[in-house]
Amino acid sequence: MHRGAVKSLASVSQSRSCGQNVFISSYISHRPVFACGGNLTGDTGFIGSQGYPGIYPSNSKCVWRITVPRGQVVSLSFRVLDLENDSLCRYDYVDVYDGYVNGQRLGRFCGTSRPSALVASGNKMLVVMVSDANTAGSGFLAAYAAVHPHERGERYCGGRLDEPSGTLKTPNWPDRDYPAGVTCSWHIVAPENQIIELKFEKFDVERDNYCRYDHVAVYNGPETIEARRIGRFCGDSTPTPIFSEGSQLFIQFVSDLSLTADGFIGHYLFKPKYSSITRSFPTTTPATLTTLPMALTYSEALCKQKCRRTGTIESHYCSSNFVITGTLISAAMRDQSVLATFSITSLHKEGNLTVQQAGKAMSTRVVVLCKKCPLVRRGLNYIIMGYVDALGKGIVSPHNFVMAFKTTKHRDLAVLNNIRC
């Protein structure tokens, strides 16, 4: 690292082949003084560790608040990063936050490996540098700029994705583990008449039965609303393909400050939205293979029928696309239908049903077309048999077999598991 003559910040260039050497094309007669923290405004500017390019002081904490004009967002690019190295950045580090108060941490950085540009969601960003008793290195130099929201270009992670197809991956993929202390948010936006399919090609995130630590959360819509969450994933089991309900998905990856792993790479694709779909299925009497229409959308006539279960588990098993036992954990009204989320106890017949898995816990979302038939209540256990639409979503109409689950039915279902329909 050159620490000699005073440098002109307007003409800094980098050479990766020599680490983080900074070559200066012009010199000025005085050296800019970087203080410990401060409030920075304007369209562009520089921030640096206290005393940069000299050795940064020990036992210090410096806070910089960056504000750019309203209507634009903050982009921060590290020109130099030279702090004490540690795989989890536990000693000397720079934290970057989206916003000032209770903002998401965009990343924690140390050593000499610089990230790509970090971009806030608004016009404010917080930068915090902490050092312990032992210091090493010249600290950091970073440039900030006001950019237009959703401006394209290389960034550390996250961003808005509106091309018909694309890829998202954790920082450092595939060369090394994702870093500790990072939050990445991707907002995928399709045209109004399309939906989004998300598939993970490789997936390895710190394992926990409840995904409390490192995790990936996927939401319907443009933000992290818990009621709109599709799933929360961790471990090394690749999630099944995910389909949005509408034209937007929000994916958030969070790593804490402990264990890390390989990370993930995923791909998304825009697909046409289907307003109504019909299928045919064989009746369960082999001698009379007729076809009947499956009810996959709500209709007033369908829901006027009397809600009276007919047949048995055995007679409905083969004609159903999926068969599960599970607990109803949430139910939300969708016009005249109910969007029900079941925590799966046993998966007897999966078909193309979309099942979310977080550790060992599995769940699925099922549309109950008629809110009063079958009538299900939160907290109760059920056997659910139904159809699967083209997008992998479970559909239950009054024709399907749904009943309260009793342990005595375990044996019946176990026998049916071995039947070839």
DSSP string for 99-111: SSSSPEEEEEE-T
| CATH code assigned to 9-147 | 2.60.120.290
Question: What pLDDT is recorded for position 297?
Answer: 79
Question: What pLDDT is recorded for position 36?
Answer: 94
Is the separation of the CB atoms in 183 and 254 below 8 Å? yes
Question: What pLDDT is recorded for position 15?
Answer: 37
Question: What pLDDT is recorded for position 295?
Answer: 64
Size of the chain in residues: 421
- Which pLDDT tens digit goes with each residue over 120-137? 888 999 999 999 988 778
Walk along the chain (421 residues) and give the pLDDT tens digit of each residue: 333 333 333 333 333 334 334 333 332 334 568 999 999 999 999 999 999 988 999 999 999 999 999 999 999 999 999 999 887 888 999 999 999 877 788 889 999 988 888 998 889 999 999 999 887 789 999 999 999 887 766 788 888 899 999 999 999 899 889 988 888 989 999 999 899 999 999 999 998 877 888 999 999 998 888 888 888 899 988 888 899 988 999 999 999 888 889 999 999 999 987 633 333 333 333 322 233 345 677 878 788 777 877 778 888 888 888 999 999 999 888 878 899 999 999 888 887 888 888 777 889 999 999 988 888 999 999 999 998 887 788 999 888 889 998 887 777 787 777 666 6
- Which pLDDT tens digit goes with each residue over 324-343? 999 999 988 887 889 999 99
Instruction: Quote the DSSP letter at residue 235.
Output: B
Question: What pLDDT is recorded for position 327?
Answer: 93
Q: How many CB atoms lie within 10 A of CB 154?
A: 8
Q: Give the E-state strand segments of 277-379 in sequence order.
A: 280-282, 291-293, 322-334, 337-349, 356-358, 361-368
**One fold for 159-272 and 280-416:** no
Q: Which two tokens stand for residue 340?
A: 């029900």
Checking 207-212 for CB contacts under 8 A at 24+ apart, the result is 207/234, 207/235, 207/236, 207/359, 208/234, 208/235, 208/359, 209/359, 209/360, 209/361, 210/358, 210/359, 210/361, 211/235, 211/358, 211/359
Domain chopping of the chain, boundaries: 9-147, 159-272, 280-416
Question: What pLDDT is recorded for position 27?
Answer: 29
Annotate 84-119 with b (16+ C-beta within 10 A) or e (fewer).
beeebbebbbbbbbbbeeebbbbbbbbbeebbebbb
Question: What pLDDT is recorded for position 294?
Answer: 56
Question: What pLDDT is recorded for position 412?
Answer: 78
Give the whole-angstrom CA distance, residue 1 versus residue 136.
12
Residue partners of 401: CB distance under 8 A and separation at least 6: 309, 311, 312, 313, 316, 320, 383, 385
Beta-bridge partners for 235: 205
Residue partners of 291: CB distance under 8 A and separation at least 6: 280, 281, 282
Annotate 65-75 with b (16+ C-beta within 10 A) or e (fewer).
bbbbeeebbbb
For domain 280-416, the CATH architecture is: Beta Barrel (2.40)
Give the whole-angstrom CA distance, residue 130 versus residue 125.
17
Question: What pLDDT is recorded for position 334?
Answer: 80
For domain 159-272, the CATH architecture is: Sandwich (2.60)
Question: What pLDDT is recorded for position 11?
Answer: 36
